[in-house]
Structure 1
Amino acid sequence: MARIAHLSDMHFGAHDRRIVDAATAWLEERRPDLVIISGDFTQRARVAQFRQAAAWLGRLHVAGLRTLVVPGNHDVPLYDLARRFAAPLERYKRYISHDLCPFYEDREVAILGLNTARSLTIKDGRINHDQMAMLRDRFAAVAPDKTRILVTHHPLFAMPIGKGGELSEAVGRHEDAVKAVCEAGVHLALAGHFHRTYAQAAQKMVAHSGGALVIQAGTATSTRLRNAEPQSFNWLHVRRNDEMELQVIVWDGAAFRRASHVEYAHGGEGWASRAVADAPMMGAVARG
């Protein structure tokens, strides 16, 4: 079983230091096999903010925790137009990671991260055809019994973002991206961006989208909350490529605690969920 912590939208520069320390302590105590951070390390891509983010990553690495990271749109300078268009992710590469499309594989999982942040959009994301080819090629060589996981900052699908049922804009080249995910046989698609916890089978969101389970993480440490959802991150137990557990770990004002615990199994009709009865349901996973 692979144990994965999925954090997103740290927003150093608009973060709560107490919550950062609590999240770090939680990870150090549970010691996941991999920590995934799906973008928006900084609030405005400033040097001081990247240094704070790099120092936090350094704490995880000193503790012996392995990480896989991708940038988000907030990691591209917004107001520095020269840097935004000439070297949009230069600071990210200097302080966080040179690899914008990292790949990790062990005996149980294969995980590919793709950069969806772009200079020409303020908040929306895009995926290009070279990245789609990389997605197909990387996973084509993976043994069929391993769980294939895709990590992006922007979700590839239109997501529910409010209580009124309104949907977000899908990532650029959405239809081609979904086709590539389907052809690559992706089992789990992890993302962030909207500061909202959400999980749903892709085929219930978009027709002909394959067998992926879409999992969104909320913001782990930012003070920029949306929809009154508190800071949180996801704790995944991936048993096989057709069976996993999702626990949402939520900040309650004093500590991180488990808020929901849902089991997912993939059968003939796709992914189905079952809430674990003994979980304290302070704030269940939003799912359709």
Structure 2
Amino acid sequence: MARIAHLSDIHFGAHDDRIVRATEAWLDANRPDLVIISGDFTQRARIGEFRAASAYLDRLRRAGHRLLLVPGNHDIPLYDVAARFLAPLDRYERHISDTLCPWFENDEVAVLGLNTARSLTIKDGRINHEQIALMRDRFSRVSPDKMRILVTHHPLFAMPIGKGGELSEAVGHHDDAVEAACAAGIHIALAGHFHRTYAEEARKMVEKAGDALVIQAGTATSTRLRNDEPQSFNWIHANGSADVELQVVVWDGAGFTRGNHIRYRSIDAVWTREDCDDADAARVPLSFQPG
């Protein structure tokens, strides 16, 4: 079993130091095999914000955590026009990671991160054809027994982003990206961006989306909340290629506590859901729970 902590949208520059320290304490206590952070390390891509985010990542590394990181749209300068168009991810590569499409593989999982942040868009994301080719190539060499996980900041699909059911824009080159994810046999697609917790079968969002389970993370440490959903991150247990447990770990004002706990099993390429009877899990209300 692979244990993965999936954080997103930590937004240094609009963060709460107390919550940042609480994420470190939780990760140190629970020792995941991999910590994924799916973008938006900073609020405005300022150098001081990147330095603060880099110091946080260094503390995690010194504690022995293995990290897989992808940038978000907030990691591209918004107001520094020259940097935005001439070197949009230079600060990210200097302070966070010089690998924009990271790879992790062990005996249980294979994980590919893809950069969806672009200088020509303010908030939307794109995947290009080189990244699609990389996805196909990387996963073509992975054993079918391993769980295949794709990580992006922007979700591949149009996502529900409000209580009224309104949908977001899909990632650029959406049709090609979905086709490639399907061909690559992606089991789980992880993303962030909307500060909302959500989980659903991809086939319920897009026809011919394949067998992927889409899992969105809320914001782990930002003070910029959506619909009053508290800070949270995802705790994922991957059991082979057809069994995954998802527990939302939620900030309750004093620390992080285990919240909603759901198990998904893939039976004949269809994910079925069951709520886990977890006596230790506090049912902290979320505005958009896994569904």
Residue number in structure 2 paired with 1:14? 14
Q: Which residue of 2 aligns with 1:282?
A: 284
Query: What amino acid sits opposite 1:206 in the alignment?
Result: V
Which amino acid is the alignment partner of residue 30 of structure 1?
Answer: N
**1:57 match: secondary structure:** helix
CA distance in 1, matches of 2:105, 2:9: 24
Letter in 1 for 2:92: Y
**SS of the counterpart of 2:239?**
strand
Residue matched to 1:91: 91
Shift of 1:259: 1.2
1:152 match: 152
Q: C-alpha distance in 2, partners of 1:268/1:65?
A: 35
Q: Deviations over 1:136-184 (max 9, x none)?
A: 0000001111110000000000000000010000001111110010000
1:105-116 matches, within 5 Å, as: 105-116=105-116
Structure-1 residue corresponding to 2:170: 170
- For the aligned residue pairs, the C-alpha RMSD in angstroms reads 0.9
- Partner-residue secondary structure (3-state), 2:26: helix
Structure 1 equivalent of residue 265 of structure 2: 265
Q: Please report how far the alpha carbon of residue 227 of structure 1 lies from its aligned counterpart in structure 2 after TM superposition.
A: 1.2
Task: Give 1:179's aligned residue.
Answer: 179
Moved over 4 A (4+): none
Structure 2 counterpart of 1:254? 254
Shift in Å, 1:268: 2.0
Letter in 1 for 2:3: R
| CA drift at 1:240 | 1.2
The sequence identity of aligned pairs, in percent, is 68
> Which string of whole-angstrom CA distances, capped at 9 and with x for unpartnered residues, describes residues 161-216 of structure 1?
00001000000111111001000000000000000000001011110000000000
Deviation at 1:287, TM superposition (A): 3.8
Q: 1:44 is aligned with what amino acid?
A: R
Aligned to 1:133: 133
Does the 8 A contact of 2:257 with 2:282 survive in 1?
A: no
Which residue does the alignment assign to 1:204? 204
Task: Find the aligned partners of 1:266 and 1:158 in 2 and give their Cα distance.
Answer: 23
Shift of 1:269: 5.5
- Contact conserved, 2:4 with 2:35, CA < 8 A, in 1? yes
1:224 and 1:2 mapped to 2: Cα distance? 31
Partners in 1 of 2:160 and 2:220 — Cα distance? 19
Give the match for residue 143 of structure 2. 143
Aligned with 2:214: secondary structure? strand
The equivalent residue for 1:47 is 47
Q: What amino acid does structure 2 have at the position aligned with 1:209?
A: A
2:272 maps to a residue whose letter is: A
Distance 1:159 1:257 in 2: 26
How far the C-alpha of 1:277 sits from its partner, in A, is 2.1
Aligned to 2:230: 230
- Say if 2:218 and 2:231, in contact at 8 Å, map to a contact too: yes
Q: Is the 8 A contact 2:104 2:110 kept in 1?
A: yes
- Distance in 2 between the 1:110 and 1:177 partners? 18
1:75 aligns with 2:66: no
Residues of 2 paired with 1:129 and 1:181: CA distance?
A: 12
Cα displacement (A) at 1:286: 2.4
Structure 2 residue identity aligned to 1:39: G
Q: Take 2:111 and 2:274, find their aligned partners in 1: how far apart are those partners? A: 25
- For residues 80-112 of structure 1, what are the alpha-carbon distances to aligned partners after superposition, in whole Å with 9 as ceiling and x for unaligned? 000000000000000000000000111110000
SS at match of 1:240: coil
Deviation at 1:280, TM superposition (A): 3.0
Task: Name the CA distance, whole Å, in 2 between partners of 1:90 and 1:280.
Answer: 41
Aligned residue type for 2:283: M
1:189 aligns with 2:203: no
Provide the C-alpha distance between the structure 2 equivalents of 1:51 and 1:80, rounded to a whole number of angstroms. 17
Give the letter aligned to residue 196 of structure 1: R
Instruction: Provide the secondary structure at the position in 2 that maps to 1:104.
Output: strand
Task: Give me the whole-angstrom Cα distance separating, in 1, the residues matched to 2:64 and 2:263.
Answer: 28
> What is the alpha-carbon distance in structure 2 between the residues aligned to residue 205 and residue 221 of structure 1?
28
1: CA distance, partners of 2:272 / 2:195? 24
